[in-house]
A and B are shown apart, each in its own frame.
Chain A
Amino acid sequence: MLLRLDKTDTRPLHEQVAAAIRRAVAEGECRPGDRLPSARDLSATLDINVNTVLRGLRELRDEGLLEFRRGRGISVAEGAPARSGLQIKVRELIAEASRLGYSRTDLIDMIRGTTT
């Protein structure tokens, strides 16, 4: 599994970790059921505090991309590739909307109002 982190990224580190893994899942770097490296390993290799890494991993669990299993580590959830692709698109949409001056509520209204 190849992870990419942007050195010039100004977002909080836990978001960067989550974004890197989300992208890896979307690009098929790891398939559903695959085990992820442990938080300790990720922390050592990325040179990021282990609690920050764990925060990023928990975000991904809440998005339904990862599963935490006691004693079996962290693995990629069923249906995660499609879901992570959608998640990335949603994030891009929110970023684009905020660049154009629309709030999230405006965006939700727009989605509700879309009939097709």
Chain B
Amino acid sequence: MTTGGHAAAPNGGGGKGGHGRAARWVRAGSVAAVAALLAALPWAAHGRLPDRLATHWSGGDTPDGSMPLWAAALFPAGFWLLIAVAVSVRWRCSWPAVRPWRALALAPTATVLVGAQASVVRANLDRTDWHAAREPALDIVLILASAAVAGVVAWLSSTRSTPTPATPAPELRLPEGQRLVWFSRTANPWLQLVATLTGLIAAGALVALAVGLARPSGLWPVCAVCAVASLAGAAFSSVQAKVSEAGLEVSFGPLGWPTRRWSPAAIESARAEHRLPSQVGGWGYRLSGLGTTVMLRAGDCLVIRPRGRHADFAVSVDDAERGAALLNALRRQG
């Protein structure tokens, strides 16, 4: 089980961009190492294992699935390589910003596979027949726990590496005795359309349910899914940003709710950046390697780095440069 943590570390640390080739070799090496470990575990103990290994339990104490030794060694390794290759292909055509997801996907997967393999070997150890192997109940808990730890480690190590651009932060001159406030808003008509359409479908389904036109079992999920999609779409179809002496306030949707606020003291720096939906993984409220992005359209984004955080918060609004400049000036003024 302890091998799981070991397998996660190189994957998690491999997400740092910039060292292109070396990082790629480290990643390939750690993928190969995990595959080798998966294949080697049963082989290393093959003297003390039965001919066929018990590999599957369906809740009961006795196993209900088995594999010959070679298959038990190669199947998890092959499965792992398949996943690693599938994720790698996605990296190739995606932007660097999406990268942390692969560490986040691979580290827990490696932990689960290595942990499961170790637990299968342990359950079969010194048994003469695979039917005699017992389900390692406690192992499952341990595997899941270490997978969660591996995921957290991968998340922390990949988000820590978000670089802060070297360009100087813009700053506005605050004239003595003047109060400056900045407003900006963006709306995405497509998201508004989607919210309206799903809202209409949800309402239609509700009416059909009320008058008993259709079977409730089939219609309830449609109604619920469309209602949730409509509310989420409406909330994130428009966004307003305000900068005043109270700091930055970003509010969503036509009702201005929910709202996120940062006081000038809670902001480390502010800047404007050009971002694309493909960089942050799509439209809406997005979590990616660039931190949190409220992406309603491609282009200018106001980006802040909250104090004491490793990741940025960005919102796609017009005239972001001056918003950032005012925020920096207010921050300096204290």
Query: Contacts A37-B240, A37-B242, A41-B256 hold; do A3 and B181 have CB atoms under 8 A apart?
Result: yes
Contact of B180 with A41 in the complex, beta carbons under 8 Å: no
Contact of A1 with B180 in the complex, beta carbons under 8 Å: no
Contacts of A90 in B (CB 8 A): none
Number of interface residues of B (CB under 8 A): 18
Residue of A nearest to B244 (CB): A45
Cross-chain pair count, CB within 8 angstroms: 46
Q: Which B245-286 residues have a C-beta within 8 angstroms of A? A: 246, 249, 256
B19 at interface, CB cutoff 8 A: no
Residue of A nearest to B256 (CB): A41
The answer, among B183, B246, B319, B326, for a CB contact under 8 Å with A41, is: B183
Query: Do most interface residues of chain A lie in helix, strand or loop, or is the interface mixed?
Result: mixed
A86 at interface, CB cutoff 8 A: no
* 17 residue pairs from A and B, CB less than 8 Å apart: A1-B183, A1-B184, A2-B182, A3-B181, A3-B182, A3-B183, A4-B178, A4-B180, A5-B178, A5-B180, A5-B181, A6-B178, A6-B179, A37-B183, A41-B240, A41-B242, A45-B246
Q: Return the CB mask of B162-203 against A: 1 if under 8 Å, else 0.
A: 000000000000000111111111000000000000000000
Query: Do most interface residues of chain B lie in helix, strand or loop, or is the interface mixed?
Result: strand
The answer, among B177, B181, B183, for a CB contact under 8 Å with A8, is: B177
Using a CB–CB distance below 8 Å, which chain B residues touch chain A? Answer: 177-185, 240, 242, 244, 246, 249, 256, 319, 322, 326
Using a CB–CB distance below 8 Å, which chain A residues touch chain B? Answer: 1-8, 35, 37-38, 41, 45-46
